[in-house]
Chains A and B, each alone.
Chain A
């Protein structure tokens, strides 16, 4: 496959234009809003479609997560979640921001929800740490720009990485508007030595990009993702395509927001505020 520089820039430019001017810099979803908007979310938005037809045409599974923001106030909770994920996947901790590799981490409200900081109505939430991870977008820009299809979207909505194909070009990192991807500048094994680790999961190597995989190695067995298992009262994982699922029931009664909805990427991670 060949894509010259001009073509790449055009695509990258278009990606950022998608939906610009549509909704604002952040989007508050009123309880139940998603029920009305599901067919749009699945990419074949046609208002005339009946509910039954929609069910037949859309994917049967779209994995999603909700984060109960107010329950993340305790730094111990955040630490427990991050440690569970990073240990389960042998994510190295280099101890400096330059080499940092992360799958899930906490950041400030201003960084998580750029531009919307002053518009937000409930100030009490702005001082809280926000757990950030790959949003497993419905329309993922990283997938569009990857020249080797090393990153791709699975039918169940998980944006996956095939490390065997990654050539380390880092286009996906430029494409991701959420900073969810890390590059292995150094050999991760140098700092994993002697640390608690998961013997059943591979490490990565210098020169590849990595990110959260929504625990595909666990969910195929029917397990919850490692982070959810570590804090089931904070995080909920479930099927967004099923109107009766745990996440849909939560989104029906709670106000939620997603990161940078103006980009049109349609994240699968919802922040309950």
Chain B
């Protein structure tokens, strides 16, 4: 015969290697990110609330920041009124990061998990840079 055994063993090894990424992850749950909100400003808040409700922030914060950016720079309007009727300054550095001053344990923990790397920090200063220098 034409070396059926050898071919079958070869096939088995080949299939095993090809599917390695699938079965190697079995039973090993990847940690979902747990963004920490333990910052000095948030600690002082009587009610721990973001600019908009938590679900909205989780799903739509990237759009919200983009709107802020366009309103502030292109329309010259820098005050945002949220669903609760409160006015906030539309600023990445001065608003978002003032509360979420633990960027690496908050923004980055999610972004690393999701594989996104916003280029904002090429220009915008991180809370650490705002405090300690560029």
Contact = CB atoms under 8 A, between A and B. Distances in A.
A156 interface: yes
Interface in B68-93: 69, 73-74, 76, 78, 93
B64 interface: no
Contact of B76 (A164, A192, A200, A220): A220
A202 B76 contact: no
A193 B129 CA distance: 10
Contacts of A222: none
B97 to A, nearest CB: 11
Nearest to A207: B122
Contacts of B73: 160, 162, 164
Nearest to B77: A220
A204 B134 CA distance: 12
Contacts of B78: 220
B123 A192 contact: no
Residue picked from B129, B130, B134, most chain A C-beta under 10 Å: B134
A25 interface: no
B129 A199 contact: yes
Interface string A236-271: 000000000000000000000000000000000000
A205 interface: yes
Interface string B118-134: 00001111000111011
Interface in B58-117: 69, 73-74, 76, 78, 93-94
Interface of A: prevailing SS: loop
The size bracket of the interface on A is 20 to 34
Nearest to A216: B76
Interface in B34-66: none
Interface in A194-212: 194-195, 197, 199-200, 202-205
B123 A193 contact: no
A154 interface: yes
A162 to B, nearest CB: 5
A171 interface: no
A163 B123 contact: yes
Residue picked from A90, A155, A202, most chain B C-beta under 10 Å: A202
A111 interface: no
A203 B134 contact: yes
Nearest to A190: B134
Contacts of A90: 134
Contact of A199 (B69, B74, B131): B131
B76 A205 contact: no
Contact of B134 (A163, A193, A216): A193
26 contacts: A90-B134, A152-B74, A155-B76, A160-B73, A160-B74, A162-B74, A163-B123, A164-B73, A189-B134, A192-B134, A194-B134, A195-B134, A197-B133, A199-B125, A199-B129, A199-B130, A200-B93, A200-B130, A202-B93, A202-B123, A202-B124, A202-B125, A205-B123, A216-B76, A220-B76, A220-B78
Given A189-B134, A195-B134, 5 more contacts: A154-B76, A193-B134, A200-B93, A200-B130, A204-B123
